[in-house]
Structure formats: C-alpha cells, structure tokens
C-alpha cells in the first residue's frame, strides 16, 4: 500500500499491488480496469502465483516474457508461464 494525499489534504490509502481488490493486478502502475484474463507464473520453491489482469496488461505480460525474458535467458515458454487464458 502506498499513501497519497487527496485534494482535501487527508491521507488516502491506494492499493498499488492489485491484491484483494476487484481491479487488474498490474504492478507497474495503477490500473482500474476489470480483470478478464489470468496468468499463472512459477515462483521460487516450486509454488505458483496467479495474477488476474485486464486484457491489455495480460498481453503486455506475455509479450515481455516472450520478447525479453526468452531472448535474454535460454528457457522454454512453459518454464516461464504455467497457465494463461481468459476468465
């Protein structure tokens, strides 16, 4: 959570991580669009994490893994993305 000052001078909490809210889970900036897709990624320890994203950020996340991560590191797509699709 990050605190931002509202126009009336009071502090207002704004969730930037998408956790627990009904909006897109994009972490690079605030996105208030409704999630329409999911992306399940591996995390250390053999676990996985599923993010609910709007179509725009779902495509951006997939494109980043294909265009950047796979170009820099010789890994298979299935090692980077466990599952993905439309809700």
Report the C-alpha dihedral over residues 37, 75, 43, 61, rounded to 10 degrees. -30
pLDDT of 71 > 90? The answer is yes
Averaged pLDDT, 12-28: 61
* pLDDT reading at 7 higher than 50: no
Query: Which residues, listed in sequence order, are joined to residue 83 by a DSSP beta bridge?
Result: 40
Question: Which residues have C-beta within 8 Å of that of residue 7, sequence separation ≥ 6?
Answer: none
Q: Quick count: other Cβ atoms within 10 Å of Cβ 63?
A: 10
- Band (pLDDT 50/70/90 cuts) for residue 21 is low
pLDDT for residue 5 is more than 50:
no
Global pTM reads: 0.71
């Amino acid at each position: 959570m990050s605190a931002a000052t509202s126009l009336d001078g009071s502090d207002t909490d704004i969730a930037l991580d998408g956790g627990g809210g009904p909006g897109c889970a994009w972490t690079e900036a605030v996105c208030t669009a409704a999630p329409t897709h999911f992306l399940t990624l591996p995390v250390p320890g053999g676990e996985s994490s599923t993010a609910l994203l709007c179509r725009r950020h779902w495509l951006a996340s997939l494109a980043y893994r294909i265009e950047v991560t796979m170009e820099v590191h010789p890994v298979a797509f299935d090692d980077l993305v466990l599952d993905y699709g439309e809700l």
